Structure 1
Amino acid sequence: MISVRSLIGIGMCALVSLLGSNTVFAQGPAAAPTGTIQERVAELEKKSDAASLWNTLGFKISGYVDASYVQNFNNPATNVTNMRIFDTQANSFVPQLFQLMLEKPADAGGTGLERAGFRARMNFGAEARFSRARTNFRPGTDNTEMDTQELYAEYIAPLGNGLKIQVGKINTLVGYEVINSFENPNFSRTFMFGLSQAFTTTGIRFTYTFNPMVTAVIGLVNGWDNIEDNNKSKTIEYLLAFTPHPRFGVNWFGTWGGEQSNCQGAGTSQAIPAPPGNTCFNAAGQVIPFGDPSAKRFVNGLIVTVKPTDSDTVILEPYYVNEGNAALDPQKQPSLGGNASGNARWNGMVTYWIHDFNDQQQPHAFSLRGRGEIWEDAGGFR
């Protein structure tokens, strides 16, 4: 007898971070043109060199390197720490990430092409292997340690305060954490992010800032981590940010849409749909995982940020998801002659605490970060 499994994860993590410094070089005033034609031509050639053209176009290039050592005191024989996200390698030094990012931020105050921009973010290393495997471009376990985390174009239309339009693969709106550890409070990620939230979405996104207190975002995407859509429906993503005071802010985020695959191609390119309804078989006649593309996944969450003192920040993230026709009820599986019709539910709560010992905008900034988490997968779906 197979029982419905419930998973509850409780994680605690603390980290002292050391942030590096950035150095900016200013370009001096251009020299006045000299007398001879040859000298003036030489001066013009200098002005059109690659560095000047790069700055004129507004391109920016940046990079990041992340390495780690993780100790598991249980010393698992497989050297794998179960239920972790990116830090699964036990008792091992790991080159987690080498990242290169080329971008041209769109300028809302510019004209013409200055309002257009793009971002291309490439990841290499162990983290890239996990994030790439989450997409349906190379589903499942993928040993390729390269991933295009973000690749999108953007344009700020001159409508009101400026309507930002982004098209491509972008970091998700869902949740507080993102893929890269240096953009999160802690090195490790929550169960809630790694096991129950999207990493990226591919589609079109609109962002509009009404005033310094209110920003709204809405998008139409292929679904969670889908570079290529796995069904005929689209997912709506949304976020509403409200910051009435510098010490208090609330972000309401979510998605709604069909996330399950069509039967065609499920598990094998030769899969075909067959009665009853959602049951799928491969070429050998074996039942394989099916999908109900008409079922909807509803995601709802908040990010509440409170700054009680100049040095302390508290972040709360309650999170809830419900998906139709998805629960792993063994009595409703196709292999037993039925159709899965139960709803899946997963939810959680994460609290972050950040204490800054000095000015975080200055070199050699120190802070202490703590995290507490409760996460539940009531039907074992995730």
Structure 2
Amino acid sequence: MNRTRTIRGVVWIRLVAGVALIGLLCTANARAEDPDPATTTTTTRRHHHHHVVTTTTTTTTEGPNEEQRLNALSGQVGNLQKQQDDTTSEVKKIEAAMVVAPPAANVAPVTIGQHVGQDETNIAAIQKNLTDNLGISVHALVDAGYEHNFNQPTANVNVFRAWDEDGFQLTQGNLHIERDGTVGFVTDINVGQVANSISGVTHYSNVVPVGGQWIDATQYYLTYTAPLGSGVSLEAGRFVTLLGAEIIPVYNNQNFNESRGLLFNLGEPLTHTGVRASYTFNDYVSATAGLNNGWDDPAANSNAGPNYEGELTLNNKDKSLSLVINGIWGPNAVPGPNGKQVSNSNLGAIDPIGTWKPSFVPNLTLQAEYLYASQEGPVINGHSASWQGAAGYVVYDFNPALESATRAEFFDDMDGARTDGEAQTLWEITQTISYKIPEVTGLIARLEYRHDNSSQNAFTNNNFINPVTGAQHLWHGQDTLAANFIYAF
């Protein structure tokens, strides 16, 4: 693309030079047609011991005849026109080579652009065939990359980070299948590190929890639109939580940052099993309400009743300003005496999220989230627990392809219920640069730096082990640098 701009710049320079030459020749012509010869007077002043000597010289100049000037001008214009035609032809060839398009029919792809174009055409044909014949939409997302933790932690584990680890990794592979209509369904199947983390928390893959698995059916629920008012959207099955500014990514909905924040990892549920109803009252107000089995674990169906969830969304006409208030409350099973589960422990959370896109700064998005949650005992050390946190996002799009996202947050685990039993306050700051590759639709490259810190020595380092006790030296913080590619269609 830089070469194309350079070539076009050369064309403009030549045209400007041609116009300047024409103007110069016309000026010379006007002077030649003047009946009086031009007279030039040169005055030389020499200063030497206060004596001044003045010399005057008069020169008369005659220009070429009119026919010679016209012939020279005609030749220059012809040369400029030929150079412009040659340059335009070269620019067209370069632009044609840059276009990502499939090859002609019955012609094998040769360039990388042709291979990419053919793959996109094949995928689009499959999607159209499924949509036309079955009413089904199929999409996918792949997120892979490399991350380096400067602490070199044990077993490559980034402490308090569930969605990424040190080294090369398949962060997420997602297959999204849905059917729209009066009656439909949604299915999201995840593989990779994201699936491992989700299944390790929710245990949906096994009746008896055995830890993380590398495949997880994150969502599978039925949908029905009841003909009431503008239409009541009903869902029944397993779905992701309403809480949180960040989400489990799918092909058309991704987070600003590559890694998940502290609130998402430590403070909020991931999924629920139950029923939901959503209704849009007008352009400014919508609401969702539901009943479910509680936070994450569907096997905990011995609760003393369902959990109640709700969401209220308020926004202005153009959606540049919005406030989303999420909440959940209900009994959840917790370990009791002798390891027995007790189901009368009420767990609740409130989670308002505000978003502002100021009109006086185009392409800027500001977002803030606050979370407060508490759970009745015995949760930790025989008593109840509570935690809270806040997160802020500053996102700026320099152009449609380049985006900067800065996240800052803190998480206060006042009783240690969410951070391995040790009361502590965590904070982190993350800077992410995302670039949409222009030659391939749906391909994003990301570079991210993140620093985590704790009020306690909570982060492991593989290089420091006490030679007497064999215990690892723990640090207050950790720094990571990640590079990822995301492809979605």
Q: Same fold (TM over 0.5)?
A: yes
What is the distance in 2 between the residues matched to 1:200 and 1:298?
15
CA shift, 1:140, in A, is: 5.3
User: 1:237 maps to which residue?
Assistant: 309
Amino acid at match of 1:171: V
Deviation string 1:30-87 (CA, Å, 9 cap, x unpaired) is xxxxxxxxxxxxxxxxxxx996574154210001111021111112243222111211
Unaligned runs of 5+ in 1: 1-22, 24-48, 106-113, 267-277, 281-287, 330-339, 360-364
Given candidates 140, 144, 150, the residue that maps to 2:213 is 144
Matching residue's letter, 1:119? V
Which residue in 1 is equivalent to 2:193?
126
Look up the match of 1:76.
153
Alignment of 1:318-337 (within 5 A): 318-329=370-381
Distance 1:83 1:52, change over 3 A: closer
Structure 2 counterpart SS, 1:224: coil
Tell me whether 1:225 sits opposite 2:296 in the alignment: yes
1:306 has 2:375 as partner: no
**How many Å apart are 1:256 and its aligned residue?**
0.5
Unaligned runs of 5+ in 2: 1-100, 102-125, 419-489
SS for the counterpart of 1:117 is strand
Q: Which amino acid aligns with 2:151?
A: N
Q: Is the 8 A contact 2:235 2:277 kept in 1?
A: yes
Contact 1:177 1:193 in 2 (8 A): yes
Give RMSD over aligned pairs.
2.2
Structure 2 counterpart of 1:227, one-letter code: P
Contact preservation (8 Å) 1:85, 1:195: no
> Are positions 1:60 and 2:137 aligned together?
yes
Cα distance 1:157–1:191, how it changes in 2: closer, same or farther (>3 A)?
same
Distance 2:185 2:377 in 1: 38
Judged with a 3 Å threshold, the aligned counterparts in structure 2 of structure 1 residues 294 and 355 are, in CA distance, closer, same or farther, namely same
- In the TM superposition, 1:96-175 aligns within 5 A as 96-105=171-180, 114-137=181-204, 138=206, 142-175=211-244
SS of 1:134's partner is helix
Q: Aligned-pair distance for 1:184?
A: 1.1
Q: RCO (CA 8 Å, sep 6+): is it higher in 1 or 2?
A: 1
2:198 aligned counterpart, secondary structure: helix
Aligned amino acid, residue 176 of structure 1: A
Alignment partner of 1:228: what SS?
A: coil
Letter in 1 for 2:398: F
Q: In the TM superposition, what are the counterparts of 1:272-287 in structure 2 within 5 Å?
A: 278-280=336-338
In structure 2, the partner of 1:369 is 405
User: What is the CA deviation profile of residues 70-119 of structure 1, one whole-angstrom value per residue up to 9, with x for unaligned ones?
Assistant: 111112243222111211x22x11012221111012xxxxxxxx311111
Question: In the alignment, which residue of structure 2 is the partner of 1:187?
Answer: 258
Classify the secondary structure of the residue corresponding to 1:258: strand
Q: What does the per-residue CA deviation read over 1:142-190, in whole Å, with 9 as the maximum and x for residues that have no partner? A: 3520000110010010000100000011111011112238621110011
Q: Deviations over 1:4-26 (max 9, x none)?
A: xxxxxxxxxxxxxxxxxxx9xxx
Equivalent pair of 2:347/2:376 in contact (CA under 8 Å): yes
In structure 2, the residue matched to 1:333 is none
Q: Is contact 2:309–2:327 with CA below 8 Å preserved after alignment?
A: yes
1:351 CA drift (Å): 0.3
**For 1:192 and 1:238, how far apart are their aligned partners in 2?**
19
Note if contact 1:311-1:355 (Cα within 8 Å) is conserved in structure 2. Answer: yes
Structure 1 contact 169–227 (Cα < 8 Å) conserved: no
Secondary structure of 1:127's counterpart equals helix
How far off its partner does 1:311 sit? Answer: 0.9
**Mapped contact 2:203–2:211 kept (Cα < 8 A):** no
Which one of the candidate residues 369, 381, 384 is aligned to 1:317? 369
Alignment equivalent of 1:203, drawn from 253, 274, 281? 274
Higher fraction of helix: 2
The one-character-per-residue Cα deviations of 1:191-219 (angstroms, maximum 9, x if unpaired) are: 11111111111110000000011110000
Q: Matches of 1:306 and 1:316 in 2, distance apart?
A: 9
Residues 141 and 72 of structure 1: CA distance in aligned 2, closer, same or farther (over 3 Å): farther
* Percentage of identical aligned residues: 30
TM-score of the superposition, structure 2-length normalised? Answer: 0.55
**8 Å contact 1:149–1:169 — kept in the other structure?**
yes
